Amino acid sequence: MTSWAGRTAVEIATAVREKRVTPREVVADHLARIERLDGRVGAFRVVRAQAALAEADEVAARGDLAELPLAGVPVAVKDNLAVRGESMRVGSAATPDTPAGQDHETVARLRAAGAVVVGLTHVPELCVFGTTDGVHGTSRNPWDPARSAGGSSGGSAAAVAAGMVPLALGNDGMGSLRIPAANCGLVTIKPGLGVVPAGIGDGDWFGLSENGPLATTVEDTRLMLAVLAGTGTPSDAGDAAAPDAGPGTLRIAVSLRSPLLGATVSKPYAAAVREAAGALIKAGHQVRRADPPYPMSLGTTALTHWAAGTAVDA
């Protein structure tokens, strides 16, 4: 029998909506993969095995199943966002082990779209660092367990990269989505201010932090971002019957300038940016070079906000 673990979110949601597979079968396959792999990877602080199977059955019974963009899709949630009925530890022994009374808005949107939360993922202490090593566990890179999954959304990234879930929710203040995505070979985006509800810690690190998706494909990233932003529909999940209302020609700025004084963008990253720009040009978009006017003091300002945001959370 073919396992659904390792499939994309778009594939899973389409199959569930067409009733080629049940949400319970999909979730059970992913739970089996978690049980097999997570002892080595260390992505999850909590695995909601029985609760997730019960939620999968609830999704299957929904009258709007055919309209759900994430029908039956297993997701993991970073352990600094509230999941109803589970404690939120934020990587620290100093936090209370009391169940959350309600979902964070982003979690609520994922569930409303048909997703099933299978677990909460490891983070470093108070989500401060660019690796995921903490009192509750260490998340390792599935490609090479001797290396880091990155951080602070390292548990979420490791879960997706290992095929334990097709999608995971994380957040990013100073690279906490982008660092683990780069380490683990995933696709992510830090949304612009106000695109996705924030509400991370006590003040979103003075506006630096945003919630966002981790996935293995651009298509899955687009789908999850649409749901998080409150615009997701079955057409986002690959409904062939739905017309593709594309964005038309876009004006796109490309920059190879480092925002930090004295730091340069290394050749592999510059080459990747140029390759992406070439693909956009071929797709008919208007691409031009434009460097943001980064102030010389940006590095110091960023560190000041990072330290102050951490102090507030502590």
Give residue for tokens 């070979």: 185
Question: Does residue 41 contact residue 142 with C-beta atoms inside 8 Å?
Answer: yes
Cα angle 221, 225, 231 (rounded to 5 degrees) comes to: 135
Tell me how far CA of residue 306 lies from CA of 131, 175, 204, 302, in angstroms: 15, 11, 11, 6
Question: Does residue 42 contact residue 139 with C-beta atoms inside 8 Å?
Answer: yes
Selection from 134, 50, 40 nearest residue 92 by Cα: 134
Q: So which residues are the catalytic ones?
A: 78, 152, 176
DSSP bridge pairs for 76? 119, 168
Report the 10 Å Cβ neighbour count for 219. Answer: 17
Question: Does residue 265 contact residue 256 with C-beta atoms inside 8 Å?
Answer: yes
